[in-house]
């Protein structure tokens, strides 16, 4: 137990710690690392409204256990501590402090949710604890100037929306775009991304309509967009509502020239088949992950590696759930960072290596897309590829698109 | 939930005055128990205890209207949210000091509570419960509304800073915040205790137990109910403001419907119509979910639910009910 | 104007969903004088049972009947095991129990059946009709709701059992005196409500797709519909459910915008209740001193 004086000192240090510019390379902070283990912290919603994402954390538990059972990593055990925040920011703060102050983990990895990560970002940077590869598609994690200890992972929703808007302008300069978005940070990023590209033309060209997660259906919104005369559509919705949208758009006989859909909702098993595979023909997305239920990847070596791993370590898990593919990939990326550390597991070096990845290939990413970071580039995955639904599979077209950073 | 007739099972009527000596001894014991963590607990534990104290205040507010006055509210998270946002907006947008936000939040929530209570309390019973529940569900959506986005920060929320200890006191800000919260909690608990022991308190309970008779005796039930609702909302709002300061962040996702449920669970577990009960309720809602998680990572919600049900089976009157039974046995 | 008509029809279609769930809520209120917050979660769980049976190769209607039977048993079981021993506990403790039940069942559903969205088969011709405004399923499920409503009405009105159940809920002491086995009546009420919940779940799932939180938002609108129509009136609850669907669409599209749909529905309901505290079709209960 700490005595009062050390407590005070720790408290004072926490207050005094400047937000900007950590001096990486100073006295090495080896908290959470001993001769035989490295402590890794993580926070997921295992309960509450976002429990669907709990599977990401469950795979990572199995992943690190698998490494430990096989003798550990470079002679060390990877002690993965993961807690539940129920997708509630106050609980996330509590759990982050528990991991950092009580369990004394070396770093946090893949903590999920934009609100939860916003709540703990400043704390992590004050404490100078690496806050790695966040499981959220918000744009704001790439801010090395103010938050050098926080780095995201996937391409941002905003980037994806920009790609869609550019594509639309090339196809038809005078399209009238209807956006159906979930009224939260996820959905609003798509509206903002389109705004980035259209600028002053946004108000004239775009009709955004929101839905709430508590809505039963989105029928009313779809009918509204159709009757406003929109001839292009962007759906920024979670799988259940995306499937409803594709079906409703088709059923009311509306045939928008273009229909874009967020890559969050491209699962063949959970979106396209429930909606009716024939009803979504022509829908366009921009993906970076391989979708496990897409027949295009049936014999892909990368996904086969994942399938083999799943059979061995999580035989009862639902292999149609794309979250498992995501989770496996980001865990692989983490292992690359630890390998690059080359035995020096100080917090400074872990952060340095996490921001010195160059062209790392990961089995879950669409072939050709790689992970690259640098001291000034905190966008690990910047590339996506457009794909069109042909009734059976997502047919990719065009080259890899580099998002704005 | 139920019909119009609320069973007056737990009656915390005015107790006979205890010998002053024993009373003082009890206060000292409580005081020492509250101060002890300040010097022994790690700062993360202090933070948890601070949260527990904040929840205890909020639950006390709920208990006034639901436990003592018999008006079931499943939407007190709404007032907690309003209190938190008042504090965050005052600190972030106007640069006002943290301490000034606490009374403001209480007053604003009291007014909001009055405004909502005025029509809602005329519904009564089940209708009130469901209406307040819908309010709790609607709160995050209202907070995100674009008309007020300039103030609330929309879906992104508002970040604020924890205060340092004043007057150069040698305390970390976790220690200071703990001290501040506990002091405020003590004050609010004492006030609530005195209120309930007073004439007004007895009237509030009389309306719960025998509404018609109370009215026949000349009590203005509607006015008293609305005022109780306002006071209750104000106390819960105060807790919300403290939570914004302790967590240093507010966003619509911080105040989902689960929050209102949490407050309700804390009230039932601590003991309905009890002043001391909410303190145990606060501890329960902070620590038991972590315990549930230790048991099962696969489905912590299932374990938490089972613990809750089992707890209510063993102690239908909550912790306060148990204490009352123990006290009765000692006095015999 | 065409848009307006479309919104009304889409509202009626969605309102049908609310109506079927509202009916289940009224049912349990009639039989037990409780409002079960876990109703939605129980219905979702039942729907997963139905899906499991259908996937195992059972014909749809056989699975349908079996699911109602299983749900009935689950309802009776919950009453016997959980509610009965807590008979004497304060009302607020009952609400606490319901909350515990919600937590257990909703998390259990996700744990056992996964969180991925699953399609659910419809027994009706599931194609668009009338230019896509309504699907065959929506018409079929509305018909099912109306049939269930009719059966519930006949049951409570004309059978001895129905009368005994109403008596047991309305005035347990007097009912016991005239020989009604009150305890079992309550258990039966739970069973019936749970069965009707299962029907609602099975009718809703093809429209909104099946996932563990399927009923979360629906339950709320169903509450609103039941309150609007009168919590003690099955017919009123059904009309209330349809009304909420239409109000929600028109208000969201033309008045306040989709962001405040729920809030607006809430305000309207409070408004109605202030004028008619027992709902539009509810009976006003006079209390005697």
The answer, for A296 touching chain B at a CB cutoff of 8 Å, is no
User: What residues of chain B have any CB closer than 8 angstroms to a CB in chain A?
Assistant: 39-40, 42-45, 47-48, 51, 137, 141, 144, 154-157, 159, 164, 170-175, 243, 247-249, 251-254, 256, 258-259, 286, 289-290, 293, 297-301, 304
Integer CA distances (angstroms), C55 to B156, C41, C60, in order: 43, 21, 10
Please check whether residue A269 is in contact with residue A320, taking contact to mean a CB–CB distance below 8 angstroms. Answer: yes
Taking CB atoms and an 8 Å limit, are A216 and C131 in contact across chains? no
Tell me whether residue C34 is in a domain: yes
Taking CB atoms and an 8 Å limit, are B253 and A89 in contact across chains? yes
Integer CA distances (angstroms), A237 to A214, B88, C143, in order: 13, 30, 31
Architecture of domain A4-155+303-374: 3-Layer(aba) Sandwich (3.40)
Residue of C nearest to B302 (CA): C104
**Which CATH class, in words, describes the domain spanning A157-287+386-402?**
alpha beta
- pLDDT score, position B48: 93
Tell me whether residue C286 is in a domain: no
- pLDDT score, position B332: 64
In chain B, where the domains are located: 40-255
Tell me whether residue C285 is in a domain: no
Chain B residues close to A53, C-beta within 8 Å: none
List subunits contacting chain C, requiring 3 or more Cβ pairs under 8 Å.
A, B
Chain A residues close to C116, C-beta within 8 Å: 52, 239, 267, 269-270, 318, 320-321
Going by the DSSP 8-state scheme, the letter that residue A280 receives in this structure is G
CA–CA gap between residue A296 and residue A299 (Å, rounded):
8
Each residue of C31-74: pLDDT tens digit? 777 777 888 899 999 999 999 999 999 999 999 999 999 999 99
Could you tell me the end-to-end alpha-carbon distance of chain C, in angstroms, rounded to an integer? 54
- pLDDT score, position B21: 61
CA dihedral (A124, B141, B61, B159) positive or negative = positive
Low-confidence residues of chain A, pLDDT below 50? 1-25, 405
CA–CA gap between residue B3 and residue C32 (Å, rounded):
10
Residue A86: helix, strand or coil by DSSP? coil
CA–CA gap between residue B192 and residue B180 (Å, rounded):
18
| Partner residue opposite B249 with nearest CB, options A8, A15, A89 | A89
Single out the residue of A143, A113, A145, A106 nearest to residue A127, CA to CA: A106
- pLDDT score, position C168: 84
- pLDDT score, position B293: 87
Integer CA distances (angstroms), A355 to A157, A375, C233, in order: 21, 6, 64
Residue of C nearest to A219 (CA): C10
Each residue of B284-312: pLDDT tens digit? 999 999 889 888 877 888 999 999 999 88
Chain C residues close to B313, C-beta within 8 Å: 85-86
Taking CB atoms and an 8 Å limit, are A253 and C128 in contact across chains? yes
- Could you give the ipTM of this predicted complex? 0.88
Each residue of A78-107: pLDDT tens digit? 999 999 998 899 999 999 999 999 999 999
Indicate the pTM of the whole model.
Answer: 0.88
Taking CB atoms and an 8 Å limit, are A47 and B304 in contact across chains? yes
Tell me whether residue C283 is in a domain: no
Residues in C 253-282 with any Cβ partner in B closer than 8 A: 259-260, 262-263, 266, 269-270, 273-274, 277
Name the residue range of residue C271's domain.
2-275
**Which residues, in sequence order, are CB contacts of B239 under 8 Å at separation 6+?**
B54, B55, B57, B58, B61, B80, B83
Across C82-105, average pLDDT: 86
B7: pLDDT confidence band, cut at 50, 70 and 90?
very low
Chain B residues close to C262, C-beta within 8 Å: 134, 137-138, 141
Which residue intervals of A179-299 are DSSP H helices?
185-198, 202-205, 219-227, 239-251, 273-275
Best mutation target among C96, C247, C279 (most B Cβ atoms within 10 Å) is: C96
**Which residues, in sequence order, are CB contacts of A295 under 8 Å at separation 6+?**
A268, A392, A393
In chain A, where the domains are located: 4-155+303-374, 157-287+386-402
A177-182 and A206-211 strand pairing: parallel
DSSP for A5-21, written as a single string: HHHHHHHHHHHH--SS-
DSSP for C66-114, written as a single string: HHHHHHHHHHHHHIIIIIGGGTTS-HHHHHHHHHHHHHHHHHHHHHHH-
- pLDDT score, position C202: 93
CA–CA gap between residue A404 and residue A401 (Å, rounded):
9
Taking CB atoms and an 8 Å limit, are B253 and A87 in contact across chains? yes
Each residue of A126-165: pLDDT tens digit? 999 999 999 998 888 989 999 999 999 999 899 999 999 9
The answer, for C29 touching chain A at a CB cutoff of 8 Å, is no
- pLDDT score, position A405: 45
Across C154-168, average pLDDT: 87
Query: What CATH number is associated with residue C154?
Result: 1.10.3470
Each residue of B51-78: pLDDT tens digit? 999 999 999 999 999 988 888 889 899 9
Taking CB atoms and an 8 Å limit, are B172 and A12 in contact across chains? yes
| Partner residue opposite C253 with nearest CB, options A51, A224, A270 | A224
C275: pLDDT confidence band, cut at 50, 70 and 90?
confident
User: How many structural domains compose chain C?
Assistant: 1
- φ, ψ of residue B21 to 5 degrees: the values are -60, -50
Residues in A 117-146 with any Cβ partner in B closer than 8 A: 118-119, 122-123
The mean-pLDDT minimum among A91-95, B32-36, C15-19 falls in B32-36
Query: Taking CA B164 as the corner, what is the angle to CA B158 and CA B168, rounded to the nearest 5 degrees?
Result: 160
Centre a 10 Å sphere on the Cβ of residue A292 and count the other Cβ atoms it contains. Answer: 24
Q: How far is C51 from chain B (nearest CA, A)?
A: 22
| Partner residue opposite B9 with nearest CB, options C90, C106, C266 | C90
Mean predicted lDDT score pLDDT of chain C: 85
Q: How far is A4 from chain B (nearest CA, A)?
A: 6
List subunits contacting chain B, requiring 3 or more Cβ pairs under 8 Å.
A, C
Taking CB atoms and an 8 Å limit, are B175 and A7 in contact across chains? yes
Burial of residue A200, with CB atoms counted within 10 A of its CB: 0-12 exposed, 13-18 middle, 19 or more buried: exposed
């Amino acid at each position: 137990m700490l005595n009062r004086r050390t407590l005070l000192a720790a408290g004072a240090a926490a207050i005094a710690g400047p937000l900007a510019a950590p001096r990486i390379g100073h006295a090495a902070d080896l908290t959470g690392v001993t001769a035989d283990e490295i402590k890794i912290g993580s926070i997921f919603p295992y309960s509450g409204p976002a429990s669907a994402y709990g599977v990401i954390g469950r795979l990572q538990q199995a992943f690190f256990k698998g490494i430990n059972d096989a003798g550990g990593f470079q002679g060390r055990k990877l002690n993965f501590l993961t807690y539940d925040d129920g997708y509630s920011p106050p609980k996330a703060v509590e759990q982050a402090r528990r991991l950092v102050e009580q369990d004394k983990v070396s770093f946090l990895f893949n903590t999920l949710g934009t609100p939860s990560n916003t709540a703990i970002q400043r704390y992590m940077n004050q404490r100078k604890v690496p806050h790695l590869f966040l499981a959220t598609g918000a744009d704001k994690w790439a801010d090395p100037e103010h938050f050098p200890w926080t780095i995201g992972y996937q391409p941002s929703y905003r980037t994806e929306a920009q790609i869609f808007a550019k594509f639309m302008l090339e196809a038809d300069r005078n399209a009238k775009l209807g956006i159906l978005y979930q009224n939260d940070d996820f959905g609003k990023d798509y509206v903002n991304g389109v705004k980035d590209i259209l600028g002053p033309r946004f108000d004239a060209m775009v009709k955004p309509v929101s839905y709430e997660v508590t809505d039963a259906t989105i029928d009313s919104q779809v009918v509204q967009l159709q009757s406003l005369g929109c001839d292009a559509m962007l759906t920024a919705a979670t799988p259940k509502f995306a499937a409803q949208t594709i079906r409703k758009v088709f059923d009311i006989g509306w045939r928008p020239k273009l229909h874009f859909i967020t890559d969050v909702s491209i699962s063949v098993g959970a979106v396209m088949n429930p909606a009716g595979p024939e009803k979504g023909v022509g829908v366009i997305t921009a993906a970076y992950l391989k979708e496990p239920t897409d027949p295009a990847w049936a014999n892909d070596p990368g996904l086969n590696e994942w399938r083999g791993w799943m059979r061995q370590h999580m035989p009862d898990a639902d292999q149609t759930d794309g979250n498992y593919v995501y989770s496996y990939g980001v865990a692989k990326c983490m292992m690359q960072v630890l390998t690059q550390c080359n035995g020096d597991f100080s917090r400074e070096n872990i952060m340095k290596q996490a921001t010195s990845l160059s062209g790392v290939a990961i089995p879950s990413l669409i072939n050709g897309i790689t992970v690259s970071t640098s001291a000034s580039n905190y966008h690990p995955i910047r590339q996506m590829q457009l794909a069109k639904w042909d009734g059976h599979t997502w047919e990719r077209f065009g080259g890899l698109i580099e998002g704005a950073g | 939930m139920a019909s119009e007739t609320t069973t007056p099972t737990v009656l915390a009527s005015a107790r006979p005055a205890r010998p002053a000596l024993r009373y003082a001894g009890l206060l000292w014991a409580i005081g020492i128990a509250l101060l002890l963590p300040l010097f022994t607990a790690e700062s993360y534990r202090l933070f948890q205890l601070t949260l527990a104290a904040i929840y205890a205040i909020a639950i006390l507010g709920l208990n006034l209207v639901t436990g003592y006055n018999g008006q079931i509210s499943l939407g007190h998270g709404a007032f907690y949210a309003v209190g938190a946002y008042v504090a965050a907006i005052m600190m972030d947008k106007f640069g006002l000091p943290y301490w000034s936000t606490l009374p403001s939040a209480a007053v604003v929530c009291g007014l909001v509570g009055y405004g909502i209570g005025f029509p809602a309390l005329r519904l009564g019973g089940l209708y009130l419960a469901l209406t307040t529940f819908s309010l709790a569900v609607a709160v995050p959506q209202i907070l995100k509304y674009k008309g007020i986005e300039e103030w609330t920060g929309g879906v992104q929320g508002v970040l604020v800073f924890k205060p340092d200890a004043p007057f150069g006191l040698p305390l970390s800000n976790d220690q200071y915040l703990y001290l501040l919260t506990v002091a405020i909690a003590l004050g609010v608990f004492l006030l609530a205790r005195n209120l309930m022991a007073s004439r007004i308190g007895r009237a509030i309970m009389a309306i719960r137990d025998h509404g018609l008779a109370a009215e026949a005796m000349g009590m203005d039930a509607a006015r008293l109910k609305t005022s109780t609702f306002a006071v209750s909302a104000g106390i819960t709002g105060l807790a919300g403001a403290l939570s914004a300061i302790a967590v240093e962040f507010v966003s619509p996702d911080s105040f989902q419907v689960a929050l209102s449920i949490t407050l309700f669970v804390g009230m039932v577990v601590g003991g309905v119509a009890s002043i001391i009960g909410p303190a145990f309720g606060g501890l329960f809602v902070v620590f038991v979910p972590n315990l549930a998680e230790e048991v099962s990572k696969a489905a912590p919600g299932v374990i938490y639910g089972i613990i809750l049900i089992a707890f209510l089976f063993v102690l239908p009157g909550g912790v306060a009910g148990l204490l009352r039974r123990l006290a009765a046995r000692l006095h015999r | 104007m065409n848009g307006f008509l479309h919104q009304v029809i889409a509202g009626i279609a969605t309102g049908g969903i609310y109506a079927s769930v509202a009916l289940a809520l009224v049912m349990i209120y009639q039989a037990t004088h409780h409002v079960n917050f876990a109703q939605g979660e129980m219905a979702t769980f039942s729907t997963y049972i139905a899906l499991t049976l259908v996937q195992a190769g059972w014909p749809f209607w056989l699975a349908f009947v079996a699911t109602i039977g299983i749900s009935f048993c689950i309802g009776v079981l919950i009453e016997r095991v959980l509610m009965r021993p807590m008979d004497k506990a304060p009302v607020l403790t009952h609400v606490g129990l319901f909350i515990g039940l919600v937590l257990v069942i909703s998390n259990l559903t996700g744990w056992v059946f996964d969180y991925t969205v699953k399609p659910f088969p419809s027994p009706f011709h599931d194609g668009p009709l009338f230019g896509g405004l309504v699907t065959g399923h929506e018409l079929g499920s509305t018909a099912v709701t109306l049939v269930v409503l009719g059966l519930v009405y006949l049951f409570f009105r004309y059978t001895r059992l129905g009368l005994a159940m109403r008596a047991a809920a309305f005035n347990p002491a007097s009912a016991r005196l005239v020989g009604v086995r009150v305890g079992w009546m309550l258990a039966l009420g739970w069973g019936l409500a749970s069965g009707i919940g299962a029907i609602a779940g099975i009718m809703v799932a093809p429209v909104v797709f099946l996932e563990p939180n399927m009923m979360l938002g629906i339950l709320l609108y169903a509450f609103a519909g039941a309150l609007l129509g009168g919590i003690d009136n099955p017919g009123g609850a059904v009309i209330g459910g349809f009304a909420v669907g239409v109000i929600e669409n028109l208000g969201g599209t033309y008045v306040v915008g989709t962001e405040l749909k729920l809030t607006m529905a809430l305000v309207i309901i409070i408004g109605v209740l202030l004028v008619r505290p027992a709902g539009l079709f509810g009976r006003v209960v006079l209390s005697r001193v």
